[in-house]
Structure 1
């Protein structure tokens, strides 16, 4: 059980010369300077179990694969002029959090407890994170392996938020937001739930693999971002269909594949509990697809491939906090309800309320994670995991109350701090691209390249009733309009 480069040109000036770029690199390099001391790594002792260690290394690699899978899942759902923007944000999150986690993130999340709210900096720069196990967290695997497994969770969590503000956040703002959010939201919340001494852990809250820490936090943060940034310019005015559904389905299956490492790996050993988590994970995903498609069929008259892919993700989200605490029949219920509830949230609630959660980060992760955390309080049983607790179904209503407290705390904390971070970032750099940049797409305006250079944006723009320059000229004209002498002419798009 788990208790647990940049040389970006944006517009006409290099980000390294801008305040936000200077601030970002100053923080990283000053932090690096505080951890230059190189403590000796202890030799691996007899307590290390090679089977458990191998299992966690593979599980870590599976979870790492989920972020590229997310890039495909999200990338296929946006318009083709924004697909590289999505992929770049996911890759940037992988790079940025990999550095942040070593410098201070892991220590804040899992280090020596301070007031039951946050870890200290004792392990900053991985000082003291060596080759011997840390019995507080994982008694049979090297401390470094445990830390790297946790890193993969820290990477994908801010990446999930991307789906809420897709197609409209500036890349410099994204970098600053991601760094601050990981430090000020993810790390404290991880300590609350999984860190030794964390107040939710001490209260008895159960979160096997990240329903509260990962999915609720990312989903709620996504909703806040969507509300603060506002709708896309074309939202509600013209259809905004996914540009490549096969790409989205591929991403969903990569997520499903990686999720076995996400959930089964959270047993922290090659054992029966990992096997149970594997079974419940797959069962919930299948049930959620059926639940999503049933609601979609009733509402719209047809089941869709996008709905099936989204349903799988919704079920995987819902079972995550419960995977190591519930039986396979309970996973059927959790997944089926999770798929249906998330579909209703996306197809009905979002439309009624009018917010633009571009790729349904809140609808799948915020809603699905909330249901999963509450369902854990209902269906958990010590028959599956003696280190857990019995839930409401087994005569213990107290656990359900604790789970509700954990959900409420995550919602409130994430909402307030995320809003504050966005306001601070907005003082350093604009959060949102300009109207002209949004029209051209983030691929060109933020990165100066196109995912489909042979076709450009012509097919999509013609479908939207717009007249554009020849596809081969589009990137050149955009760069020229931004002052790049390599191009000539002005981007023409009506």
Structure 2
């Protein structure tokens, strides 16, 4: 492989890895000041744990020999010893590392649903088991030769399109987030306006880092294709995200009378989520429309938790689950050459729906069962008194801000 493609692979891997600290900043700014360390540590804990599990056995599980396989054999190359000594080890190890960054951020995203009330140890146990039972197999289904990747061939329809993770990352994480929000229950005094972001600049910094890293997230895999579609991916990643900011702010202005900085940041993330599966398969104009729709719909979707009575603290469901579904299904209508309105028929939409529904239901079921088991054994949620006081000092013995008593 040429040195330019290898250089891009390293750069893209670093960009996607940076996104997990970006999530930490984004989530950290949204919680109260006495919970910011706890919130950010859940992202950094995921970074440490999932990296190790991916090298030990996660990468081996992320590819299958036949579409009927649930997941790859975790002991096929335990610790990547064989991969490191093969003839193509240089590029193989780069690919494995790039894949690790996706696993890490998918797990980190879930944590926003249980902000302000989760034990760190319980979270780490959940993260490791969920990654093993859900993310690693689903990655094989979608990208590693599994049944979703081969669904089109099986049904005689177009193949499922999920270029960078609408199903495997965002629907996957969003469904698990919903499950954990239900298991842990509502925060003390849960109601609209109960808490406000303690640090809006931190939220904007996190969103900016995410957008920056997302160019590696969406365009990173192009190193395997000689960067053939990188221009389309890059312009769509810019355009859909920018349009989503506008869509969110317009809805926010109409609904609440003000367009906020947190709303703009959330709109950017919603646009990034929606364009993730579609970045290589939409003309730029359709990507702009997708962004506007994602921003507007997600701005409305984040209110569902108050209507339906579940406490998704930082709107993982409203942004990642809803945004992931929008981006995945949108391809059924506007994917280049196969969308219903762009030269195809209902076949593309059919396979997109099947893939999205399967990942959503599987992730939700496993996350709910796992979270319930942890809550009923070692306990997942902190005491109410600790939650009200702020959990940083109780869980980590640290404070986010060392403020003078004077």
In the alignment, the residues of structure 1 paired with residue 85 and residue 317 of structure 2 have an alpha-carbon distance, to the nearest angstrom, of: 38
Cα deviation, residue 357, structure 1 = 0.7
1:200 aligns with 2:148: yes
Cα deviation, residue 368, structure 1 = 0.1
Q: Is the 8 A contact 2:67 2:147 kept in 1?
A: no
How has the CA–CA distance of structure 1 residues 59 and 403 changed in structure 2, closer, same or farther, with 3 Å as cutoff? same
1:371 aligns with 2:326: yes
Partner of 1:485: none
Q: Which has the higher contact order (CA 8 A, sep 6+)?
A: 2
In the alignment, the residues of structure 2 paired with residue 321 and residue 268 of structure 1 have an alpha-carbon distance, to the nearest angstrom, of: 17
3-state SS of paired residue (2:133): helix
In the alignment, the residues of structure 1 paired with residue 194 and residue 170 of structure 2 have an alpha-carbon distance, to the nearest angstrom, of: 28
3-state SS of paired residue (1:324): coil
Once the two structures are superposed, residues 218-246 of structure 1 have per-residue CA deviations (whole angstroms, 9 ceiling, x without a partner) of: 11111111111011113228630000000
Cα deviation, residue 111, structure 1 = 4.8
In the alignment, the residues of structure 2 paired with residue 93 and residue 118 of structure 1 have an alpha-carbon distance, to the nearest angstrom, of: 21
Once the two structures are superposed, residues 153-194 of structure 1 have per-residue CA deviations (whole angstroms, 9 ceiling, x without a partner) of: 000001001110001011110010000010011111111111
Partner of 1:127: 81
Partner of 1:275: 231
In the alignment, the residues of structure 1 paired with residue 196 and residue 388 of structure 2 have an alpha-carbon distance, to the nearest angstrom, of: 16
User: For 1:254, which of 209, 228, 248 is the aligned residue?
Assistant: 209
Partner of 1:177: 126
In the alignment, the residues of structure 2 paired with residue 396 and residue 55 of structure 1 have an alpha-carbon distance, to the nearest angstrom, of: 36
Using structure 1 for the length normalisation, give the TM-score. 0.77
In the alignment, the residues of structure 1 paired with residue 192 and residue 6 of structure 2 have an alpha-carbon distance, to the nearest angstrom, of: 53
3-state SS of paired residue (1:452): coil
3-state SS of paired residue (2:84): coil
In the alignment, the residues of structure 2 paired with residue 125 and residue 271 of structure 1 have an alpha-carbon distance, to the nearest angstrom, of: 30
1:161 aligns with 2:161: no
Partner of 2:200: 245
Cα deviation, residue 367, structure 1 = 0.2
In the alignment, the residues of structure 2 paired with residue 114 and residue 321 of structure 1 have an alpha-carbon distance, to the nearest angstrom, of: 21
Cα deviation, residue 113, structure 1 = 4.4
User: For 2:9, which of 56, 61, 73 is the aligned residue?
Assistant: 56
Higher helix share: 2
Once the two structures are superposed, residues 132-157 of structure 1 have per-residue CA deviations (whole angstroms, 9 ceiling, x without a partner) of: 687xxxxx971100010000000000
Counterparts in 2 of 1:285-296, with a 5 A limit? 285-296=241-252
Partner of 1:42: none
Once the two structures are superposed, residues 429-470 of structure 1 have per-residue CA deviations (whole angstroms, 9 ceiling, x without a partner) of: 111001122122121110011111215xxxxxxxxxxxxxxx
3-state SS of paired residue (1:119): coil
Partner of 1:73: 26
In the alignment, the residues of structure 2 paired with residue 418 and residue 343 of structure 1 have an alpha-carbon distance, to the nearest angstrom, of: 25
Range that drifts further, 432-441 or 84-93: 432-441
Cα deviation, residue 88, structure 1 = 1.0
User: For 1:297, which of 246, 253, 266 is the aligned residue?
Assistant: 253
In the alignment, the residues of structure 1 paired with residue 143 and residue 334 of structure 2 have an alpha-carbon distance, to the nearest angstrom, of: 20
3-state SS of paired residue (2:148): helix
Q: Is the 8 A contact 2:16 2:214 kept in 1?
A: yes
In the alignment, the residues of structure 2 paired with residue 238 and residue 325 of structure 1 have an alpha-carbon distance, to the nearest angstrom, of: 39
Larger Rg belongs to: 1
Q: Is the 8 A contact 1:52 1:141 kept in 2?
A: no
3-state SS of paired residue (1:199): coil
Q: Is the 8 A contact 2:192 2:306 kept in 1?
A: no
Cα deviation, residue 427, structure 1 = 4.4
Once the two structures are superposed, residues 256-279 of structure 1 have per-residue CA deviations (whole angstroms, 9 ceiling, x without a partner) of: 000000001122345231221111
Cα deviation, residue 295, structure 1 = 0.8
Partner of 2:155: none
In the alignment, the residues of structure 2 paired with residue 313 and residue 237 of structure 1 have an alpha-carbon distance, to the nearest angstrom, of: 21
1:327 aligns with 2:275: no
**Where in structure 1 do 4 or more consecutive aligned residues deviate above 4 Å?**
131-134
In the alignment, the residues of structure 2 paired with residue 184 and residue 450 of structure 1 have an alpha-carbon distance, to the nearest angstrom, of: 34
In the alignment, the residues of structure 2 paired with residue 237 and residue 337 of structure 1 have an alpha-carbon distance, to the nearest angstrom, of: 24
RMSD: 1.7
How has the CA–CA distance of structure 1 residues 299 and 317 changed in structure 2, closer, same or farther, with 3 Å as cutoff? same
Q: Is the 8 A contact 1:131 1:142 kept in 2?
A: no
Unaligned runs of 5+ in 1: 1-47, 135-139, 383-389, 456-470, 473-494
Q: Is the 8 A contact 2:375 2:381 kept in 1?
A: no
Unaligned runs of 5+ in 2: 152-158
1:398 aligns with 2:355: no
How many residues align? The count is 396
In the alignment, the residues of structure 2 paired with residue 237 and residue 375 of structure 1 have an alpha-carbon distance, to the nearest angstrom, of: 31
Once the two structures are superposed, residues 38-65 of structure 1 have per-residue CA deviations (whole angstroms, 9 ceiling, x without a partner) of: xxxxxxxxxx221111101100000000
Cα deviation, residue 370, structure 1 = 0.4
In the alignment, the residues of structure 1 paired with residue 227 and residue 49 of structure 2 have an alpha-carbon distance, to the nearest angstrom, of: 33
Partner of 1:41: none
